Copies of this chain bind each other. A is one copy, B any other.
Amino acid sequence: MYVLVTYDINTESTAGRRRLRQVAKVCLDYGQRVQNSVFECSVDEGQFRLLKHKLEKIIDDEVDNLRFYRLGKNYKSSIETMGQDRSYDVEGPMII
C-alpha cells in the first residue's frame, strides 16, 4: 500500500529542530522524500504500524502534527505534479 506522510514540526527550539531531523530520518527508512516535509512510502500494514510507532515516540504532541494519507492501489493515477519534481517511481527500474 502507498501512504503519504506529511508533517509540521515546531522548529522554534533546538529540540524541535532535532525532532525534525529524526522524523525525516525515520521516514527515509520507509519511502522517498518528494518535498521538504512530504514523504511517499510503499509499506504493508505491519510496516505502517511500525513507522507510526517510531514517529509517535519522536514528536511532541503539543506542538507537532503528522498526517498520514492512504493513497490506495491506483495511487499513480491519483498524483499530479507541477514544477520541479524530485520524486521517482518506486516500482520502476532502478538504474545504478
Report A's interface with B, CB cutoff 8 A. 4, 6-8, 34-38, 52, 55-56, 59-72, 78-86
Contact = CB atoms under 8 A, between A and B. Distances in A.
B71 A83 contact: no
Given A37-B35, A38-B6, A38-B38, A82 B55 contact: yes
How often does this chain occur in the complex, in copies? 2
A60 B83 CA distance: 7
Contacts of A79: 67-70
B66 A69 contact: no
Nearest to A34: B67
B62 A38 contact: no
A83 B58 CA distance: 11
Contacts of A80: 52, 67-68
